Amino acid sequence: MAYRDFQHFLDVLKSKNELKTISEPLSPYLEITEVADRVMKAGGPALLFTNPAGAPHRLGTPNPKSAVLNNPSIDPAARPQGNVQYSYPVAINTMGTRKRMSLALSCDDFEEHAERIAGLLKPELPKGPKEAIAALSKVLELKDAPPKPVKNAICQEIVMMGDEVDLTKLPILTCWPEDGGPFITLPLVFTHDPNTGKRNVGMYRVQLHSKNTCGMHWQMHKTGMRHMEEAGAQRKRIEVAVCLGGDPSYAFGAISPLPPGIDEMMFCGFLRRERVNMVKAKTVDVSVPADCEMVIEGYIDPSERQLEGPFGDHTGYYSLAGDFPVLHVTAVTMREKAVYPATIVGQPPMEDGWMGKAVERIFLPMIQLTVPEIVDMNLPVEATFHNMAFVSIKKKYPGHAYKVMNAIWGLGGLSFTKFVFIFDEDTNVQDLGEVLFRIGANCDPGRDTLHSRGPVDQLDHASVAEGFGGKIGFDCTHKWSGENGFSRDYPKLITMAEDVKAKIDSIWPKLGL
């Protein structure tokens, strides 16, 4: 089921008792975060704050770059004072459980999309009419993928340009005490390659600097940054649209590690089984989803920078302030009675944990297409995904684990993985207890490790340098004779005889245990 818009998704969540409405006046400055953080960590419902009110936005970056290193909290007396009533409800934690993440992707469980992708990537010759029809139906799913241009859109029911633009009227969250200001945390950032015209949709935090300027946190490895650099080489501005809301699959598309050449909006059409309606923005040459709640249009001068941050990040620590591009807002459009979508990040588990887990499961078939020996993979939420990977493989030869380690470090976003653990195919890498057992039983740190270096997440504060650091892989497989200097007999894993297990299975209900 494709959603008409974001509020349709909220209605569905409410009908399934997955949405809690909060009418208590709470401030976008810290207070909404504190409620949402407690609910997220408890696995609680999506939240709709219908009465956001409180202190006005604290703009600018009052702290020097080193402030968050030594200053545990901002003096309460320095917090903004006064009271502002915001006109737009705030929706948060809408994808904060497996069930809601699956609902956001228009399915009962997001593993269904992994199966759909696997079927497209590994087609088999049909053995009869029924299989031929089934195979054809898979291909026909792609006909609904390309976006569809339209002329009218709910995201443009209200249009504000020039002096009418005032982003301070939006309930943009200041999430944590040391944050440099309010941040848009669930944006869909649309840009186009100035050379090819190819669209990119990414999710990059956006800091509110003033009523009509924002900081754009384009990291060094991101496509948005590449587009801006190409525009700068041509001495041109780059036009940008920051979209909020719409079908929740759009947010997933924005964070998805898609292969080059796959358009995010086409991928969203595949996920929702219905084409995405796109409308031309009012002041920039960018098309946006017609069903968005809000759209912020503007441009970036590649030569201009302003201090952005600090920001309480998904790493669980503050990312420090730095100089980043400035978005000059030329228009804000929105639907009537719009809802402001948001999320928060911080020490896991958070809502983004389930977004990341869906990425892991849905894109596993694509990873297996490149590295077919991979059986399963687990990127633990507690390690913020990009830091650690547990991988099971079909081991075929000595040193196979090292081949897979190096393959992972060469795969898109997986190249940021700092710790890679490789296991035999009979290991359930989703079971942390079994993972720890196999690490302790099968890995000799002096023999079974591989040290490397390469790109890491730019937000990784522990790395040797910004965006560059060390990697380590652990071979936790059973060792073969002669493998990497291993010359002893390798013992067998303790397992019960199959006939005995079958007998006990058959009489288990009688045992009353």
Catalytic residue IDs: 313
| Phi then psi dihedrals of residue 59, to 5 deg | -95, 165
Tell me if residue 13 falls in helix, strand or coil: helix
* C-beta neighbour count of 145 within 10 angstroms: 20
Q: How far is CA 350 from CA 65, 68, 250, 289, 462, in A?
A: 26, 21, 19, 27, 21
Give per-residue burial for 260-296: e unless 16+ CB within 10 Å, then b. Answer: eeebbbbbbbbbbebbbbbbebbbbebbbbbbbbbbb
Give per-residue burial for 331-343: e unless 16+ CB within 10 Å, then b. Answer: bbbbbeebbbbbb
> How many whole angstroms separate alpha carbon 14 and alpha carbon 167?
29
The contacts of residue 75 (CB under 8 Å, 6+ apart) are none
Structure tokens at 233: 């080489």
At residue 215, what is the residue type? G
Q: Which of 217, 264, 257, 224 is nearest to 240 (CA)?
A: 224
Query: Which DSSP category does 436 fall into?
Result: H
Q: Which of 172, 219, 226 is nearest to 198 (CA)?
A: 226
